[in-house]
Every structure is written in C-alpha cells, then in structure tokens.
Chain A
Amino acid sequence: MTHLAFIIPAYGVALVIPAAFALDAWRRLSRARARLAALEGGRRR
C-alpha cells in the first residue's frame, strides 16, 4: 500500500476523535444518572 505515512494518521484521527467524544459522553451519562438517582432516592426517603 502506498502513502501509508498519510493514511495511518488520517484514519487514526478519524477514529480517536469520535472515540474520545464517546468516552466523555459515557462518563457524563453515568455520573449524571448516579447523581440523579442519589438525589431522587434521597428525596423519596
């Protein structure tokens, strides 16, 4: 395969940026879900 020095970084960037967004979204969702459950659980008690 020719031009690997350009193809590998291009695919790397195209995979790393969405993966970073996915990780951040997953962490935000988990944290928000846990905090909401704690607050609403506390309110019900």
Chain B
Amino acid sequence: MLRAVDVFSPIAPPRGARGLHRFANPGRFLRLAGALLPWVSAIGLILTVIGLYGGLFVAPADWQQGDAVRIMYVHVPAAWLASAGYMALALASAASLVWRHPLADLAAAEIAPVGAGFTAICLITGSLWGKPMWGAFWVWDARLTSVLVLFFLYLGHIALTRAFDTPERGYRAGAILALVGVINLPIIKFSVDWWNTLHQPASISLTGAPKMYIGMLWPLLFMALGASLIFAALVLARLSAAVMERRVRALLAARAEGA
C-alpha cells in the first residue's frame, strides 16, 4: 500500500521508538533544520578553512613523499565521509523499511548524491596522489576497487530511486540496495589488512595511538570535522528542500482535486 503524501500530517510512532520519531515529524524537522543549518554550515566552514591553512602552509612536508602528502588533507576526510555517508544512507533505508517513514525515504534520497560526491572526491584525489607516489593514476588494488564499488552503489541507489513511476517503489528498491551494499563497508576498511595492497594501512585508529606526527595530525582532524559538518549541512539543506517540494506537490494535487 502506498504512503500518504501529506508530509505535515502527524505520524503515530510505534512503541519503543517515540524518541526517534519525535524528530522525524516533517514539520518539526523543518524547524530544527532551519535552526541548525546556519550553525552547522558556519562551524564547518571555519574548521575547514583552519584545516586547509594548516594542511597547506603549516604542516611539514613528508620526508619521502614531499609536498604530495598534502593531498592527504582532502583525500582522507573524503574517504571517511564516503563510508560514513553510506552508513547514514543504510540507517535511513533501514528506518524506511522498518517504520515506513516518508522522511527516512527522503533522507536516503538526499544523502546518496552527497555521498557519491564525496566518494568521487576520494577517488579523484587518491588518483592524483597515486600518480607521483606509485607511478600510476589507477591500480586494481583491493582498497581502490572496493571504494569504486561504493561509488557505483551510490550511483545505483540514485538511479533506482528515480526509476519508478511511483516514488515509493523506488525508495523501497533503493533501501534494499543500500542495505545489501553495507557488506562493502568492512571490505573497504579491512581490504588493506586482508590483501597485499599498494594502499597504505590506516595511520589512525579509535583503539590505538596515531602513527602520525602531531603537526600533520591536527590539520587532518580539523579537515575531517569541518568536512563532516559540511556534509551534514548539505544533507540538512537538501532534505529541507525535499520536504518543502513534497509539500508543494501535495498542495498542488489537493488544489487540482478541488478544481
């Protein structure tokens, strides 16, 4: 059965999920996003500018790689956000399939293009880093190939959600693809441990001390935090626009029925 299109109608939360659903009401979401968006955007931009300055002008060059190591400050945050964005897409898809919430559908549809954009940044900057270090723009290495698969998963989700006459069917098909594609995330993470790859293993982990000089680490962390907030701001802005566009369609449909 298809869902109602009136995005501002209250949605009865299932038991045990009231806290989550409180914020998933489209009207409340728009008010919250409107209040958060300027702050998230501004803080994200400030952190990114500080990180860019630190990465380009303050951090030292690498003794082996020279200044090419500065590509790390844009490549690594993009790589982290490519995977984190896909996890957000999968969570929105799970919420869509379990609770059939229209806002979760819209969230998944708006996260996917931004995630694809950051994955493209990761692939392109990685390629530009690979040429001077490895002598080739591209190698069929496990890490590079699994990130390319992630990019295709994003593109597949975008195509699938737009491939049906009834949007709800597209959202359902996209949600299933997003959940199946989650299997690729641990493959990306552990590809450098499971296979012999040209790509280096992780220098930063949540469980151990970073294997990186602090003068190189702080710009990377600023860039990662700034890029994460910019990613969040882009999704918030796109999702707010999508909620309003859906409301416009609902009003036009109601007006056409009344005429």
Q: How many A-B residue pairs have CB under 8 A?
A: 96
Given A10-B124, A10-B125, A36-B247, CB of A2 within 8 Å of CB of B67: yes
Q: How far is the CA of A13 from the CA of B248 in the complex (A)?
A: 34
Q: Give the shortest distance, in Å, between A1 (CB) and chain B (any CB).
A: 5
Q: Assess whether A13 is in contact with B234, with CB atoms less than 8 Å apart.
A: no
Given A29-B237, A40-B251, CB of A6 within 8 Å of CB of B129: yes
B255 partner residues in chain A, CB cutoff 8 A: 39
Interface residues on B, range: 35 or more
Q: Nearest chain-B residue to A16 (Cβ)? A: B121
A35 partner residues in chain B, CB cutoff 8 A: 244, 248
Q: Give the shortest distance, in Å, between B209 (CB) and chain A (any CB).
A: 28
Q: Nearest chain-B residue to A14 (Cβ)? A: B74
For residue B132, CB closer than 8 A to chain A, the reply is yes
Q: Mark A10-24, 1 if CB is under 8 A from B, else 0.
A: 110110011011100
Q: Which of B212-252 contact A (CB under 8 A)?
A: 227, 230, 233-234, 237-238, 240-242, 244-245, 247-248, 251-252
For residue A43, CB closer than 8 A to chain B, the reply is yes
Q: Which of B128, B240, B252 has the largest count of A CB atoms less than 10 A from its CB?
A: B128
Q: Assess whether B74 is in contact with A32, with CB atoms less than 8 Å apart.
A: no
Q: Nearest chain-A residue to B78 (Cβ)? A: A14
Q: Assess whether A25 is in contact with B251, with CB atoms less than 8 Å apart.
A: no
For residue B61, CB closer than 8 A to chain A, the reply is yes
| Residues in A lying within 8 Å of B, measured CB to CB | 1-4, 6-7, 9-11, 13-14, 17-18, 20-22, 25-26, 28-29, 31-33, 35-36, 39-40, 43
Extra contacts besides A29-B240, A39-B251 (5): CB < 8 Å: A7-B68, A13-B125, A25-B238, A25-B241, A29-B244
Between-chain CB contacts (< 8 Å), 14 pairs: A2-B66, A2-B68, A6-B129, A6-B132, A9-B128, A11-B52, A14-B74, A18-B227, A21-B238, A22-B233, A29-B240, A29-B244, A39-B251, A39-B252
